[in-house]
Structure 1
Amino acid sequence: MTEQMTVSRTPGALLSMLALVAGVAGCGGGHPAQPVVPAAPSTHEIVGTVFRGNHFDANLQGAWRVSGEGSMLEITENAVTQFQETRSFCYSDMVTAPGDVFREMTFPRTANAERVSANLYLSAELPATYSLERSAQIPANCRLPVATDALTSFKAMAEIFSLDYAFFKERNIDWAARIAARNGPRAVGLGRQQGHDRRHRAQ
């Protein structure tokens, strides 16, 4: 004997099936799923005085890149060394002892998983004297001796100006042509990189 499966067609059974189908359809909802927005990195802030007691604050010691400039700072316990950096050069430009200026400065230092930054203020009413981004270290070539002949000095000046001057286009200045006219064909390529090398200035 062959067994046959029968489906109840009573009104109660049909209503139960409709309710089940509606429930399954309802699981999808009538609205699209909302995208998952990753949480912003947790930020930690430290506020203090740049020079404390007889040394620079430990939270500021290390290597920093100065935002909007072609320079870097190395802060140790007792001094600040500034390095000028361009496409072709990097050299020590200035060593500063604490002095009265740094002794009067304050700072907020913020850090999260993506970046560490600090602003150094001479006064709460003034813009930051330095806006800094943490760097792993000062590049090794920055500590090497730099030639001081006329052409090398001119090339360094031209590259620094190319990085830091913001108005070549607005004032219709052909920097490459100016360099070539001043120092001959050997320097004609010095200004060609101005559009590529110029760092974004701080907002």
Structure 2
Amino acid sequence: MKKLKTLIFLVTIICLLKCKSNTHQKTENKTSKITATINGTWKSVGYGRIVNITDEVVSLYDVNNISCLPSEEFPREAAEQFLSLKLKNENTLKVKMGITTYDFVRLEKMPKNCTPLSETEKNDPLFNFESLWQTFNEHYSYFKERNIDWNAMKSKYKSKLSSESSPLELYVVLRDMLKEMKDGHVGIPLPEEIAEEYVAYKKSETQSNPKKQRRKINFDEFKFEQFGKYVSDYKTYNYGILNWGLINEDVMFLQINGMMGFAHYNLGDDPEKAEALYEQYAEESDNQTQDEVDGAAYIMDTIFPELAKTKACIIDLRFNGGGTDEVALKILSYFTKEETTVFSKKAYIKEGEYTTANVIRISPAKKVFNGDLYILTSPLSASATEIFVLSSLKATPNAIRVGSNTEGIFSDILDKQLPNGWSYGLSNEIYESMDGVNYENIGIPAHHHIEYNRESGYKFVSKLQDQKKDEAVEKVLELVKEN
């Protein structure tokens, strides 16, 4: 998924401060002038962020109507990222990060409630509940689309807590409330300090409810097995993030299992060490998102000579839960014949009011596939994967989709923190096709529909695992023959 990824605003603000990036090495005097202008307090338009900048320190805050919570603080000299920055005037700042432009307005001073909390306040279960509820109340985009009465949810779940509730009890209440929203970009990760206690609680919870017990599936093995039904001699990149090979001389099969994990790092030959190595290199990178995009370009360039000889390409996104929009767009560019406007995105401010829409374009790669494109989708095709599918509506209008509707979660995750330090995330952005359609909670439909189970990914995968032939792939092969 897109998230829960590194705080996008933290990265944005780090980038904001990098006035001597490769793209901004003007004269020393101009750099100094911009640096002086940036100092002060800035509030984001939407997103609920405040940033206070001095020559020495950068402080980031999560803010809503009842709380202003310090999120991160770090030395200014540590801000060594690059950016695209446009200072519209003394009080308005635009920062471009990835495909998104964020607006900031200057404040005269820090808000009054941005003062340190006592330990009692930080750990008060009711205050933590209220802080989370208020953030959703101010920033969540999809109450209507998901048929959620947020005030009723507050009444239902706050009554389960008191000022004496334990951290585990608070976590379970917040977990259960957010689960009701049925939004894959909404959630609260398990805090480390209660992990052991929660595991024991979860075990007893599962044992007491047989419906929660699931057939065990090794998803990594399953993906290889499913792909191997049609391509016996296949190749793999980064231990399965992408598998490829020929079904026959006319049809290339690409199974893309994530939109993150593409960076071309030296991971060695030991699969058990690969994940740790990848995380290490990503942590050390100056720009990990660019590493991901460059890695996607590397592997697509590697595949392309073989791909170019075929008449049709199947891209299987059915087990792809997302990652980074930029990776999705980079891969799609190898199938895009001309520069195209593909979608827009905006953030919720309040009822009927949104940030200025970012309109996103895609340009063709240097090498573009000219054959027929088939895209396989399922309820597990989510987040950045849906950005691939959404963009394909305009970028590759002749592509044929086979499978079911995608999951229907498009927004970047807005990462936030509770007073007690726990992190959580929500959807605050609206993505729309160039025809003005918002597919949130609906998903993008297929041309040839297959009834995959939308309620349980396990049931969907289990059924697929038990089938000797893959209905979606068989449908594509039938369509290829007809053409």
Same fold? TM cut 0.5: yes
Structure 2 residue corresponding to 1:51, chosen from 18, 24, 37: 18
Q: How does 1:82-97 map to 2 (within 5 A)?
A: 82-97=60-75
Letter in 1 for 2:126: L
Are the counterparts in 1 of residues 57 and 75 from structure 2 also a CA contact under 8 Å?
Answer: yes
C-alpha distance in 2 between matches for 1:168 and 1:102: 38
Shift of 1:118: 0.6
Deviations 1:110-165 (A, max 9, x none): 127xxx21112345xx322x421111111132123151211111110110111110
Counterpart in 2 of 1:139?
Answer: 111
C-alpha distance in 1 between matches for 2:129 and 2:157: 10
Query: SS in structure 2 opposite 1:169?
Result: coil
Does residue 173 of the first structure (1) align with residue 148 of the second (2)? yes
Counterpart in 2 of 1:127?
Answer: 100
Shift of 1:90: 1.6
Counterpart in 2 of 1:103?
Answer: 81
Letter in 1 for 2:355: A
Are the counterparts in 2 of residues 106 and 120 from structure 1 also a CA contact under 8 Å?
Answer: yes
C-alpha distance in 2 between matches for 1:69 and 1:93: 14
C-alpha distance in 1 between matches for 2:146 and 2:57: 39
Does residue 151 of the first structure (1) align with residue 123 of the second (2)? no
C-alpha distance in 2 between matches for 1:142 and 1:64: 13
Deviations 1:163-194 (A, max 9, x none): 1101112221100111111121999xxxxxxx
Letter in 2 for 1:91: L
C-alpha distance in 1 between matches for 2:141 and 2:75: 31
Percent identity, aligned pairs only, is: 20
Counterpart in 1 of 2:41?
Answer: 63
Change (3 A) 1:106 1:98: farther
Structure 1 residue corresponding to 2:137, chosen from 134, 139, 162: 162
Shift of 1:98: 4.5
C-alpha distance in 2 between matches for 1:179 and 1:121: 36
Change (3 A) 1:169 1:57: same
Are the counterparts in 2 of residues 51 and 98 from structure 1 also a CA contact under 8 Å?
Answer: no
Query: SS in structure 1 opposite 2:61?
Result: strand
Q: Give unpaired runs (5+ residues) of structure 2.
A: 1-15, 21-31, 163-348, 357-483
Are the counterparts in 2 of residues 65 and 135 from structure 1 also a CA contact under 8 Å?
Answer: yes
C-alpha distance in 2 between matches for 1:172 and 1:99: 46
Query: SS in structure 2 opposite 1:57?
Result: helix
C-alpha distance in 2 between matches for 1:135 and 1:102: 25
C-alpha distance in 2 between matches for 1:198 and 1:102: 34
C-alpha distance in 1 between matches for 2:65 and 2:128: 14
Shift of 1:65: 0.7
Counterpart in 2 of 1:24?
Answer: none
Structure 1 residue corresponding to 2:159, chosen from 163, 175, 184: 184
Change (3 A) 1:68 1:83: same
Q: Give unpaired runs (5+ residues) of structure 1.
A: 1-48, 188-196
Change (3 A) 1:68 1:61: same
Higher RCO, Cα 8 Å, sep 6+: 1
**How many residues end up aligned between the 2 structures?**
140
Query: SS in structure 1 opposite 2:113?
Result: helix
Shift of 1:50: 3.1
Letter in 1 for 2:104: L
Letter in 2 for 1:202: T
Change (3 A) 1:99 1:158: farther
Are the counterparts in 2 of residues 71 and 85 from structure 1 also a CA contact under 8 Å?
Answer: yes
Counterpart in 2 of 1:73?
Answer: 51
Shift of 1:52: 4.0
Change (3 A) 1:186 1:150: closer
Greater helix proportion: 2
Change (3 A) 1:75 1:201: farther
Are the counterparts in 2 of residues 164 and 198 from structure 1 also a CA contact under 8 Å?
Answer: yes
C-alpha distance in 1 between matches for 2:80 and 2:128: 30
